[in-house]
Amino acid sequence: MSSGTQFETTAVFEGHGYDAPYEHTVPYGHFAPYGHTEPYAPAGSYGHTGPYEYFASYGHAASYGHSAAYGHTVPYEPTVPYAHFAPQEALPAPYDAHTAPTVPALPPQGAPRAPEDGSRAGNRRRARQGGRADGTLRRLLPRALVVAFLAGGTSAFVAKDKAVELTVDGTPRTLHTFADDVTELLAEEGVEVGAHDVIVPAPGTPLTTGEDVAVRYGRPVLLTLDGHRRQVWTTAETVEGALRQLGVRTEGAYLSTGGSRRIGREGLALVVRTERVVTVMADGRARTVRTNAATVAEAVEQAGVTLRGEDTTSVPGTGFPRDGQTVTVLRITGSQEVHEDPIPFDARRTEDSSLYRGTEVVQQAGRPGLRRTTYAVRTVNGVREKPRRLRTEVVREARPQIVRVGTRARPTSVEGTGHLNWQALAACESGGRPGAVDPSGTYGGLYQFDAPTWHGLGGAGRPEDAPPAEQTYRAKKLYVRSGAGAWPHCGARLRG
């Protein structure tokens, strides 16, 4: 439309107490109230319908009934370009969905009617005015159909739209949706849910306007409750809410983190020790305490009992105290005892051909060993327990006794000595005892030989260890060699 061009619309009034219809021209876009304009062309229907006939500035008349909002037009009556009327017939204008409806241009309101003339344009106008009743019905029907379609579409549109409130993890928002149920609504809003999440109403529930939909995300919690560890899921946002949801009693309980701490989607680890009643028996008294201690030893300490030295408890001190449990304190005093026990020696006998038969000589005297054993002696609450062996050690090894046994044949006699009184000599020297030894330890046996003399006569070992017969034999040999003088004090007894 060129600048400054003024278009007008023509409203035709018929009946209403007038003898003949007349034409009234108003500026385009400004129609008088209903009843003064054509009944089928109210201005501004749905805000988008233009006047009946509209001559465009560039010579293209828009189609009848064009609605800008819905884009539906019904071709009505092509006209010739504006201000260029053909002498005989109007040329059809091209269809344009964006051109407003057209009406013929009329003189301004109050201007005198144009004189009747015999021109072709005048004839056409008179014919149109004469057929206004038929044209009115013909043009009213399509427009009524359009209005009915728009009204029905709007009703369906309004019916599908729902106002709902969606709360995700405590954050509410009100929105409009065309979703039919909760599942569609969550998908439409991009809310992803998992197996541990809670949705109220349940997924698939039909939606109605005014519905409240709540989504609570599940959060993993690694819960150690009274010593037992397990993983749980909760939709609560705080530690306190999670424990309430899990039914955990928090009064008097120990929490590893504050109850108001928020739980993120990633979850957290939580240690909870509920309050328990524990009885501690110590020193003849019973003490009952309410505790959330982590160990038995801690509960005993809270009861005012101190463990000293080897004191212990009836249950391990590192154990978890249970509700209603009784713990007994054991007062222990301990000491050690040492016991020494002899180790017997062995006797080893070896044959010796240099000794006469029946002669045994102790070459090495045996000596017992010594074994030392240490025991732990414990007294529990005044009662002595059975000693417990701690260790054993050999203080001294036993020394075996070695005995030489003669295998040589004994001579029957020593020539020239058989008439002597050897029994009297033995009684004088040793009192007749084969194993006698003088106080100095130098002489021994029946005849009191010293070691050099004994060995010189062929004896082995010590004379007191030799059999009596061998000692008498060696004494006879000494007599043959030295006579009775070998025994200065008792030698005379041999003859008497």
Same-domain pairing of 134 and 105: yes
At residue 409, the pLDDT reads: 76
Domain-embedded: residue 408: no
Instruction: Give, in order, the Cα–Cα distances in Å from 350 to each of 241, 355, 466, 469.
Output: 95, 11, 15, 20
* pLDDT for residue 476 is more than 70: yes
Domain-embedded: residue 156: yes
pLDDT digits (tens, 9 = 90+) for 7-19: 333 333 333 333 4
At residue 411, the pLDDT reads: 64
The side-by-side arrangement of strands in the sheet containing 312-313 is 285-291, 276-282, 325-330, 312-313
Residue 388 three-state SS: strand
* pLDDT for residue 1 is more than 60: no
At residue 123, the pLDDT reads: 52
pLDDT digits (tens, 9 = 90+) for 187-211: 999 999 999 999 999 999 999 999 9
Instruction: Give, in order, the Cα–Cα distances in Å from 387 to each of 265, 332, 377, 384, 391.
Output: 61, 14, 5, 8, 12
CATH number, domain of 265, equals 3.10.20.30
Q: Which residues pair with 351 in a beta bridge?
A: 405
Residue 479 three-state SS: helix
Same-domain pairing of 295 and 170: no
Same-domain pairing of 199 and 223: no
**Residue 154 DSSP class:** H
Per-residue confidence band for 170, with pLDDT thresholds at 50, 70 and 90: confident
Return the closest-CA partner of residue 352 out of 460, 467, 474, 473: 460
At residue 25, the pLDDT reads: 39
Check residues 347 and 135 and name the one with the higher pLDDT: 347
Check residues 99 and 184 and name the one with the higher pLDDT: 184
Same-domain pairing of 259 and 381: no
pLDDT digits (tens, 9 = 90+) for 324-372: 999 999 999 999 999 999 999 999 999 988 877 777 888 999 999 999 9
- Note if the pTM is more than 0.85: no
Per-residue confidence band for 169, with pLDDT thresholds at 50, 70 and 90: confident
Q: Hey, which bits of 92-218 come out as E strands?
A: 102-103, 162-168, 171-177, 198-200, 212-216
Domain-embedded: residue 325: yes
CA 481 from chain center: how many Å? 108
Q: Which domain holds residue 463?
A: 413-494
Same-domain pairing of 27 and 145: yes
User: What one-letter code names the amino acid at 183?
Assistant: T
**Residue 484 DSSP class:** G
* pLDDT for residue 231 is more than 60: yes
- The CA distance from 445 to 428, in Å, is 12
CATH number, domain of 440, equals 1.10.530.10
- The CA distance from 328 to 201, in Å, is 56
Check residues 170 and 272 and name the one with the higher pLDDT: 272
Return the closest-CA partner of residue 5 out of 110, 112, 105, 116: 105
Same-domain pairing of 47 and 36: yes
